[in-house]
Each structure stands twice: as C-alpha cells, then as structure tokens.
Copies of this chain bind each other. A is one copy, B any other.
Amino acid sequence: MALNIERSCEVAVVGAGLAGLRAATALAEAGVDTVVVEARARVGGRTCTERLPVGGFIDHGGQWVSAGQPRIEALATGLGVTLFPTWDDGKTVDWRAGRRRTYTGMLADPDPAAEAEVAAAAARLHEMAATVPLDAPWDAPQAADWDGISLHQWLADNVGAPAARAVLARAIEGVFCQGPGRTSLLAALFWAHSGDPLTPFVAPGTAPDRRFDGGAAQLCEAMAARLGGDRVILRVPVAAIEHRQHGMRVLGPQLAVSCRRVIVTVPLPLAARIRYLPALPAARDHLTQRTPMGWIIKVHCTYAERFWREDGLSGQVTTDGGVVSVCADNSPASGSPAILVGFIEGAAARRMAAAPAAERRAAVLADLGRYFGPRAARPEAYYEYLWGDDEFARGAEGGYWTQGIWTAYGPALRAPVGALHWAGTETSPTWYGKMEGAIRSGERAAAEVRGLSAEPVRDPGP
C-alpha cells in the first residue's frame, strides 16, 4: 500500500478517452501542466480498436462519423488520421415473422402513407426539438410536460402506423440501447436537437457515413503519444478526489496527484463511484444515480470474401427477432478482410451476456446465417466485446434519461463544483453520446479550467 507514484501538476484529468485526452491536449498546448489518470491498461475509453492478425482492424467501440461533426474531423486531420466512406450501398435484409426479404428505402413493406407519416412526425418532432435549449433542456417552454411523458407515449398518441412508430422510436432511442425504462420525450427531443438523428429519415445521405482508416482508437493513441508517456498514467482506477480550498488530490491505488483543478470525464454512473472529499452536493450525486448506461454487445465476424455484395446486399438488416438487431458491413477501406459487425442490444444483451460464450457465438452466427445465408454462419474468426461487463464503461455509447431526470437534475450535469469540472460526451450539448460530443466536451472543459468562456453552443447541421 505504499505510494509508488506521487505527482504534482496544475490540472489532473480523470479518464483517457476522447474527452479527457482532448482536454489534456488543449491544456498542454496552452502551456498548462496536465496529467491524465486512466483506469484501463489502454487509452481510448469507449473507442477501442483491435488490429487483426490477417490485417485490417475492428472497432469494438465508437466508430462512425456523421456530417456536421467538425471537431472530430479537425482533430483527425491534425493527427493525420483519415476517414473513409462506410460500405452501405446495396439492399437491406428484413427478417420478420420468420420470413426473409430484401428491400431498399425506408420500409420493408413499401407504404407511402406510413412513410409520409414518418416524415410528418419527424418534421413535427424537429419543430418541438428546436424549442429545447441545448445547454438547458429544462428551460424548454414545455419542459415539464415533455419530461413527464415518454417518447413512446407521444408516438402512440401522434403516429398511427406501427411501422412509422417503430422507425421513429428506433431513430431516436436505438443508439441508447433500449433501457429498461422509457426515454422521456424531453430527453428524446434534446437528443434529436443535439445530434440530429432524425435527419436520415428526412434527408437520406446525412446518416453516419464515414469511419477511421485504421480504427477510431487512433485518435486517442495519437493524442496520448503527443502528450508524452509521462503525462498519461495507465492502470490506476481513481478511488477518491480531495477537493479542498488549500488544494486538490486525485487518489488511486499507489497514486496521488496533487493539482489545482480536476476534470472528470468518465460516464455519469462511474463518476458516482469516485469518492469526493468533501462529498458532492446532493443534486449532483442524485443525478449520477439516475442516468444509467445502456447495454450493448458488439460482435464482428471476418470472412475471406464479402459474399453478401454478390447478392446485392449492403450488410444491413431490420428484424423483429434474433439476438443481433443491427448489422453493417464493417470491412476496411480496402474491402479486405471482409467484416460484418452486429449489435446485440438491450434485453437481448442482458440475456446473452449471461449465457456461455459458445452459446452466444452460436446465436450470433445463426442470426447472421438467417440474414445473409449459410456462408455468414461460418466466419474465419469471431470477435465480441461485452460493454456491460467492461468495469470502466459498464454499458454502451451513452447514459440515457428516463422521465423527470432532465427537469429535476439537469442543471447539475455540467456545473463545476468548485475546482471540479465535468466532461465526457454525456455533458455535451451538441452530439451528446457521440465521439464528436466527447471531443467538444473536452474542449469546453479545458476552456472552463483556463477561465475562458466556452465556445457558444451551436446548432449541429445546416
């Protein structure tokens, strides 16, 4: 229990993901002495790239970039990391009631009335979302009403066609990995405004459409390399943060970093697990008790060939069953090795995470076989990442907000507590839950720490 590492700096950053390393980089560039403390043996946080023995790579975590995300583009350019278009041309497979079909467009069963309903509801949700201030959703004119009902209730009351409802619910809520618990309408509108996830259905072509050549974790790896090895301390889970008038200390097993300010970048439920001395105000503490993580298992299969393209398929699916509910062609820019990615989400993830690994693999391969034919069930290699079991992620892309949380506790999300500052994608007004949001939150926290006002919040997209 002797202290092996004692350090002193101006700013300590907890977490070496995109938010933490972007904050540390911005501070270092401004001449501020900064140290990053990371629990894992790697940097990257919820981005995580594995290099394959056959060449190529897979992203176990965040991977997609959308139009309207300038900060991640600028960061990548500065670090020499390039983007390439995702492989998304071709038909979608629909598996429903035990029957397989392929289609293009919005719905497997073309239904102009339902599609018009989606467009009309999306337009209306857009209008409503535009009234939600991104930096203070609780100040929306109808905040109390909207936070008191669920998105699903609004859809049930306002959208007739079940297919239209399903498309809209999926567009807004899908990325947060399906509860349990119903997303508040206010939270859904905030997300829609923050990241514009409805746009793909209104204006195809603006969906997440690019990936990093070589993997998303390169961003963090390159930032850490530029900071220098002694600036990023790995394998130290922070246990406590003392934040007293006369000074601050970040404490972990065998570590004490003395500093003047701290930026905590980890997801909200994990920020709750650090002990703060003195204890935090109740509102901040209660917020972190109420914004849980979703649950996702991300699986990849590699093949000698992209056989699905021979059938004119994109690699994407819609389905009413199985364990893999989302698929895509995740091959690298060169097209080789051939890679399919699948997502097991929500209830299916809860069920399958507890199953033996062989059973989980068999269920995934059975699904892929159903969707893409028998060759899909015989990959060269199978990879999986159980984000719920990752002690330092405990879920998936982002925390989610059920009814009443934004209006009761929203103001505690980002407000510094003395010299304690909060970052991470969940604190970003724009692109909440996305890599772009994480980077913006790091830039905002760095500016906050330096006493500069953060950049004004801007609406994403055109």
Which residues of A does B touch, CB under 8 Å?
1-3, 179-182, 237, 239-240, 269, 272-273, 275, 279, 281-283, 285-286, 289-290, 292-293, 295, 347, 350, 353-354, 386, 388-389, 391, 394-395, 402-405, 407-409
Contact = CB atoms under 8 A, between A and B. Distances in A.
Contact of A273 (B3, B181, B273, B350): B273
A266 to B, nearest CB: 13
Contacts of A404: 179-182
A282 B386 contact: yes
A392 to B, nearest CB: 9
Nearest to A346: B408
A389 B182 contact: no
The 7 A-B residue pairs with the shortest CB-CB distance, nearest first, are A180-B404, A282-B388, A289-B292, A279-B391, A180-B408, A269-B289, A181-B404
12 contacts: A179-B408, A180-B403, A181-B403, A239-B275, A269-B289, A272-B272, A273-B273, A273-B275, A282-B295, A283-B353, A285-B394, A347-B408
Contacts of A405: 180-181
B181 A281 contact: no
A387 to B, nearest CB: 9
Nearest to A150: B403
Contact of A409 (B180, B182, B353): B180
Given A289-B394, A293-B289, A394-B285, A275 B237 contact: yes
Contact of A350 (B283, B347, B350): B283
Contacts of A403: 180-182, 402
Contacts of A182: 403-404
A292 B269 CA distance: 11
A3 B1 CA distance: 8
Given A275-B239, A289-B394, A292-B290, A181 B282 contact: no
Contacts of A2: 1
Contact of A354 (B272, B279, B283, B353): B283
A239 B408 CA distance: 29
A354 B281 contact: yes
B181 A290 contact: yes
Given A394-B285, A407-B180, A272 B273 contact: yes
A403 to B, nearest CB: 5
A181 B405 CA distance: 7
Contacts of A281: 354, 389
A28 B166 CA distance: 57
Contacts of A402: 181, 402-403
A408 B354 contact: no
Contacts of A285: 388, 394
